Structure 1
Amino acid sequence: MLEGYLPILIFFGVATLFSLGLLFGGKLLAPSRPDAEKNSAYECGFAAFEDARMKFDVRYYLVAILFIIFDLEIAFLFPWAIALDQIGTFGLIAMAIFLGILVVGFVYEWKKGALEWE
């Protein structure tokens, strides 16, 4: 009974050895020549002046969540548009209801001032 699991165990063993070999082989074989230029700040051009764990305004997260929600709306529209011939009028009405609910949510957030930035 357990002999059926032997190929899976061998696969996991080979995969683990292969990944560890690549990980440590890269560390051992890669040239390491750090200098001041390589270790300097490169993203914004100046050294960091605050802690990276500083507090952000809650509105930043709210706008990010709203973006994700309305971005997912578009992700649902693509398969719907491709399958519209097969689903017919029922699919059209269902998507209209879905979009209507999202529009109501968008208007609510707009009226509450969630999209305002000072």
Structure 2
Amino acid sequence: MMTILITMMVMTCVSVGLMAVCAIISKKSILDREKMSPFECGFDPKSSSRIPFSIQFFLIAVLFLIFDIEIVIILPMVLTMSSSMIKTWFMTVSMFIIILMAGLLHEWKNGILEWAN
């Protein structure tokens, strides 16, 4: 019981410490806001200095991460094949791949995978 209490106190201290560090860092960026603004030879900029972010690129990146994590989940299934019942193992892997394929089909039907519109 005492170890749980000590662990909770340490987690609270670490969280409060991280929040304090973030608050100190953000105050510095608020003070330097004028320095961070775009500057073109003393004149106001004619256009935005930042290129708009492509939401399509973000969606493809998220899909890559999802499938990357799913591969990490699938790899241990190969190791457990020899130590588990083959019928249970096959059902688990089949359901996992069916859910994966259903998600991919859903994304394909919604046009998320279309790079150029």
Short-chain TM bin: 0.5 to 0.7
TM-score, structure 1 length as denominator?
0.52
Structure 1: segments with no counterpart, 5+ residues: 1-49
The root-mean-square deviation of aligned C-alpha atoms, in Å, is: 1.6
2:95 is the alignment partner of 1:77: no
Match of 2:101 in 1: 103
Q: Which amino acid aligns with 1:107?
A: L
Q: State the 1:72 CA deviation.
A: 1.4
Q: Which has the larger radius of gyration?
A: 1
Residue of structure 2 aligned with 1:68, choices 65, 90, 94 = 65
Per-residue Cα deviation, 1:61-116 (whole angstroms, up to 9, x for no partner): 11111111111121111110011111222122111101101100001101111011
Q: State the alpha-carbon separation in 1 of the partners of residues 73 and 90 from structure 2.
A: 13
Q: State the 1:54 CA deviation.
A: 3.4
SS of residue paired to 2:82: helix
Structure 2: segments with no counterpart, 5+ residues: 1-47
Match of 1:115 in 2: 113
Count of residue correspondences: 68
Q: Which amino acid aligns with 1:100?
A: I
Q: How does 1:1-118 map to 2 (within 5 A)?
A: 51=49, 53-88=50-85, 89-118=87-116
Q: State the alpha-carbon separation in 2 of the partners of residues 58 and 78 from structure 1.
A: 31
TM-score, structure 2 length as denominator?
0.53
Runs of 4+ in 1 over 3 A off after TM superposition: none
